Amino acid sequence: MTAPALALEGVAVNRAEVPVVHDVSLEAAPGAVTVVLGANGAGKTTLMDGIAGLAPVKSGTIRLDGTAIEKLQPYKRARAGLGYVEQARTTFRTLTVEQNLIVSQSADGDIATVYKLFPELEKRRTLQAGYLSGGEQQMLVLGRALVSAPKVVLIDEMSLGLAPLVVRRLMSTVGELAGMGIAVLLIEQFANLALDVGTHAYVLRKGGVVFSGPCEELRGDDERLHRLYFGGPPLSAAGTDAADESELE
């Protein structure tokens, strides 16, 4: 069995000194898309920020390619091979597309690969990032993560504010990132789109994992997803439902 590129064991993360995520264990395999789902407020972004070093990890272990990183500064985690695509689509707005890629590039990063994935960006390589459309800015943020030569890429709600056609285009690219051998950990509001591209899924509720299993077990099952998100009677389906509502309270 291939060792996970990213492994969390019993991770708890605080936000402004308030416990938000508790006892989360998960794995992300190289060359695969691992999906994290949950309702708003479930702790998904806080979990991602904890992995990236932007929120304090209260307890537990985060291993990147077998090495514990939970005590490292964010830039050291990035150097170790962790890329983070945050919600805000942050770019250097006054720099051109190509300059944005250059400042994010590591010694092993390849800008040509970004242009191959996103021909739209190559056409706009001399345009300031501030003039790009929302979808193009998201492509650029993904490209900046890619040129850092990551082992793992965290992607948090890249579809926010984008048209469905653009979201599908980006979701296809997420699959291509995995095809390059990168481990992708994906948070996405459009659950079934994420489940279509993913291999393994985790569902968070109230900061804890309530489901871990193959994406195919949840794909198209909106009723089950709703119960996992918000609680309800115990489920009888075959997946591993880690807790029902009574166990979480």
Q: Give CA separation, 98 vs 50, 104, 207, 231, in Å.
A: 30, 10, 39, 46
Would you say residue 207 has pLDDT above 60?
yes
Report the residue count for the chain: 249
Would you say residue 244 has pLDDT above 60?
no
Q: What are phi and psi of 180, to 5 degrees?
A: -85, 0
If pLDDT is split at 50, 70 and 90, which confidence band does 212 have? very high
With beta carbons less than 8 A apart as the criterion, state whether 42 and 230 touch.
Answer: no
More confident residue, 61 or 248: 61
Q: What is the rounded average pLDDT of the residues 221-228?
A: 95
The pLDDT score that the predictor gives to residue 112 is 94
If pLDDT is split at 50, 70 and 90, which confidence band does 86 have? confident
* Rg of the chain (C-alpha set): 18
Q: Which amino acid is at 14?
A: N
d(C-alpha 96, C-alpha 130), whole Å: 9
Q: What is the rounded average pLDDT of the residues 82-89?
A: 87
DSSP 42: S
The pLDDT score that the predictor gives to residue 236 is 44
Q: pTM for this one?
A: 0.89
pLDDT, the chain, mean: 90
**Which CATH architecture best describes the domain 6-81+150-242?**
3-Layer(aba) Sandwich (3.40)
The pLDDT score that the predictor gives to residue 113 is 93
Q: Please give the helix or strand (H or E) that residue 113 lies within, else none.
A: helix 111-117
Axis crossing angle, helix 164-179 with helix 134-146, rounded to the nearest 10 = 10
The pLDDT score that the predictor gives to residue 122 is 96
Tell me the H-state helices in 53-110.
74-79, 97-104
Percent of the chain past pLDDT 70, that is, above it, reads 92
Q: What is the rounded average pLDDT of the residues 187-202?
A: 94
The pLDDT score that the predictor gives to residue 241 is 54
If pLDDT is split at 50, 70 and 90, which confidence band does 243 have? very low
Would you say residue 242 has pLDDT above 60?
no
Domain coordinates of the chain in residue numbers?
A: 6-81+150-242
Helix (H, G, I), strand (E, B) or coil at 140: helix
The pLDDT score that the predictor gives to residue 1 is 57
With beta carbons less than 8 A apart as the criterion, state whether 202 and 38 touch.
Answer: no
The pLDDT score that the predictor gives to residue 233 is 57
If pLDDT is split at 50, 70 and 90, which confidence band does 247 have? very low
Would you say residue 125 has pLDDT above 80?
yes
Which residues are bridge partners to 78 per DSSP? none
The pLDDT score that the predictor gives to residue 162 is 87
